[in-house]
Amino acid sequence: MSITLHPGAVTLAELEAIYRGAAVALDPACCTAIDAAAEAVAAAAKGSEPVYGVNTGFGKLASLKIAAEDTETLQRNLILSHCCGVGAPMPPEITRLMMALKLISFGRGASGVRWRAVELLQAMLDRGVIPVVPGQGSVGASGDLAPLAHMTAVLIGEGTATFDGVELTGAEALERVGLEPVVLGPKEGLAFINGTQFSTAYALAGLFGAWNAAQSALLVSAMSTDAIMGSTAPLLPEIHALRGHAGQIEAAGVLRDLLDGSEIRESHRHGDTRVQDPYCIRCQPQVTGAAMDIMRQAARTLEIEANAATDNPLVLTGEGRIVSGGNFHAEPVGFAADMIALAVAEIGAIAQRRVALMVDPTLSFDLPPFLTPNPGLNSGLMIAEVTTAALMSENKHLATPCVTDSTPTSANQEDHVSMAAHGARRLLPMVANLTHILGVEAMCAAQGIGFREPLATSGPLQSAVARLREAVPALAEDRYMAPDMNAAAGLIASGALVAATGMEFPEVTS
């Protein structure tokens, strides 16, 4: 699959396809605007007027004028001096997405880079040269400087990159695929590193994983509802229409469809002495639906940001001006990442309560303790529930907002920053925690549904249980549990359980 990038109109679905490995190419029609901006920068570099980043120093050193003959050295020094990242490298799929986002930003024709430099970045993506970019070092303003510098270093033959799984120097990697390093012209180094593409790429990756988990949460929560013989009355459409939140209405509809036709549900529709189910069953649409709504808000922000020109200064060719601004400040991305983190934490929090409900014989409506047929001799899913509690608590801590934690940098020139970079980077570990919580919930729910035999659950839920049982057999006697839990989490992460139902689930763009 190959995607042509139309800057300003790239969709969330296209961005996810790129994240999943689709090839990319910038719309050739962008060349005209890109070249026009580059010509404006070249003219400014030859002039006597100081233009930030073109013929001046950077940051606190912006008042220092740079001679025209030193322009190339200035840009090269900028890249080398800003390669200060630390920590584990970015996953290659997120690095690819970051590179594609930079192409989109350049395609807006406001950065002043030459088409040749854009072509080299695109060729690296096309031929599989992926820069090795340390994951830590950005505060999300002014731009993701350190990580983008590591990316850019490869274009000038410095730094390191992988090709065919082998780590090479930047120069070696380019040579392997028949490419030559570029000598950066006026402003080009600054344009490459001044932007929010690192933070945005991580936030998008977190969003895609979180939405996949939300879909699975709807499924496994329906399974849990049948396992504890919960009521479907709280899913009546009239209830949710009276409140009006789109995600809540949608979540309730999915849960109704998933539970439709369940013999377990019909068996206790009359004569059930319980008046109400606990909130973790009764309020599933209100909680998961709210999380869906907030993730969709974040998705809209990130789609806009992915299409934005976020470096500084920007070349306004229509007005004949090169203007300093602040589009590099990643506050929108930081807010979006915090919103996604809150949604992930809350989906996990209510899922963990459903796990706790099912293993507790005083609350599970006659399921055996810890869902084992022979309790006492066997501990069943006792400690699997404890693990979900640990993961839930960890996600609560990780969900603490990051955008409120600004600190001044660069001799107080950059005196308010977004912290979007690590706000976005924490999302994938949070999603991984959530997939394990939901995997354990699926195991508990399938075990509980099994104890309700000969009554059968609904058709879609039977299919989900059958898919789970291909990887995780029913628990009769205690056994080594870790492989089962990892297998269940894998089915959540891959979307295999959702796919097994054969049903349509909400999309983030709906």
Q: Which positions are catalytic?
A: 52
Residue 107's CB is within 10 A of a number of other CB atoms, namely 24
Query: In whole angstroms, what separates CA 154 from the centre of its chain?
Result: 25
CB atoms within 10 A of CB 75: 25
**Residue 109, C-beta contacts closer than 8 angstroms, at least 6 positions apart:** 30, 32, 33, 34, 36, 37, 315, 317
User: Which letter does DSSP use for residue 159 in this model?
Assistant: S
Kindly compute the dihedral angle of the four CA atoms of residues 297, 300, 301, 302, in this order, to the nearest 10 degrees.
Answer: 120
CB-based burial label for 69 (10 Å; 0-12, 13-18, 19+): exposed
Q: How far is CA 96 from CA 16, 167, 187, 240, 370, in A?
A: 11, 16, 23, 41, 44
Q: Which of 4, 5, 9 lies closest to 304, judged by CA?
A: 9
- Within 13 A of 238's CA, how many CA atoms are on the CB side? 1
The identity of residue 15, as a single letter, is L
Q: How far is CA 211 from CA 154, 182, 340, 433, in A?
A: 33, 39, 9, 14
Q: β-strands 23-26, 2-5: how paired?
A: parallel
CB-based contacts of 225: which residues, under 8 Å, 6+ apart? 232, 255, 259, 277, 281, 284
Contact between residue 302 and residue 333 where contact means Cβ atoms under 8 Å apart: yes
Q: What is the 3-state secondary structure (H, E, C) of 29-89?
A: HHHHHHHHHHHHHHHHHHCCCCCCCCCECCHHHCCCECCHHHHHHHHHHHHHHHCCCEEEE
Residue 334 is encoded by which pair of tokens? 């930081």
* 8 A C-beta contact, residue 140 and residue 419: yes
Tokens of 176: 């392997």
CA distance 155 to 350: 47
Residue type, 411: A
Amino acid identity, position 196: T
| Residue 407 neighbours by CB under 8 Å, 6+ apart | 139, 417
Inter-CA distances, 84 with 146, 158, 432, 489, Å: 6, 13, 28, 35
Query: Rounded to whole angstroms, how far apart are CA atoms 395 and 344?
Result: 8
